């Protein structure tokens, strides 16, 4: 996927709302927004070179979500196409914040926003660890302040 940018925010996912994604009111159900954002964030990490082979074996899962928020702004219905842009917006010693915006691809209206705070863990001990230097370098190159 070409890395389209929106003021530093990178396009990382496109999709279509199917009837199976909708609730009894014909709106995309909130559980599917979580699914769309999860797929988008995984693609975002990957397109920035943050793949399993980038990390030491003991880090394994890369990061664990300690907090995730989704704000709903505008409804999506079956047949709506959407696009997700994401950005790393903050780094700490052991954590990063990743944000994503899901917009209607036709109208450009933002439908939902995602914020996830991730902590890096040592797989063997289960304890948080400092962000590895090579990972921090990658993140800081594309960091977009909130």
Reported as a pLDDT band with limits 50, 70 and 90, residue 50 is confident
Residue 28: DSSP 8-state: B
Overall number of domains in the chain: 1
Domain that holds residue 51: 5-142
For residue 118 the two structure tokens come to 């991730």
Residue 133: DSSP 8-state: H
Distance between CA atoms of residues 56 and 122, nearest Å: 9
What confidence tens digit (pLDDT) does each residue in 9-43 have? 999 999 999 999 999 999 999 999 999 999 999 99
**The pLDDT value given to residue 140:** 92
Domain containing 112 — which CATH number?
3.10.129.10
Nearest to residue 145, comparing CAs of 7, 18, 25, 38?
Answer: 7
Q: Residue 83 pLDDT > 80, yes or no?
A: yes
Nearest to residue 76, comparing CAs of 19, 4, 35?
Answer: 19
**The pLDDT value given to residue 132:** 85
């Amino acid at each position: 996927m070409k890395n389209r940018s929106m003021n530093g925010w990178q396009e990382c996912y496109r999709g279509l709302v199917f009837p199976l994604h909708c609730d009894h009111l014909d709106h995309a159900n909130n559980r599917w927004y979580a699914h769309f954002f999860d797929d988008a964030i995984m693609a975002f990490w990957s397109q920035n070179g943050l793949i399993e082979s980038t990390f030491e074996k003991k880090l394994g899962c890369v990061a664990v979500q300690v907090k995730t928020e989704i704000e709903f702004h505008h409804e999506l219905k079956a047949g709506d196409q959407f696009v997700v842009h994401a950005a790393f917006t903050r780094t700490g010693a052991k954590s990063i914040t990743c944000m994503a915006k899901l917009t209607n691809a036709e109208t450009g209206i933002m439908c939902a926003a995602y914020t996830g705070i991730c902590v890096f863990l040592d797989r063997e001990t289960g304890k948080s660890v400092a962000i590895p230097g090579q990972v921090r370098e990658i993140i800081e190159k594309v960091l977009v302040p909130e």
